[in-house]
Amino acid sequence: MAAQIIHGETIITPRLVLSYESSQESRNIEHTILGRSDPDITQRPAGTRTGTLELFFLDEADAEAARVAHTEVGTFSLVWPERPSTEMTYVLGQGELVRTLDPETRARWIVQVPYREVIV
Distance CA 8, CA 107 (A): 28
Q: By CB under 8 A, name the one of 23, 32, 85, 94 that touches another protein.
A: 32
Tell me: does residue 38 bind another protein (CB under 8 A). yes
Choose among 117, 94, 93: nearest CA to 45: 117
Smaller CB separation from another protein, 18 or 29 = 29
Q: How far is the CB of 94 from another protein (least distance, A)?
A: 12
Contact between 57 and 14 (Cβ < 8 Å): yes
Binding site for another protein (CB under 8 A): 29, 31-36, 38-44
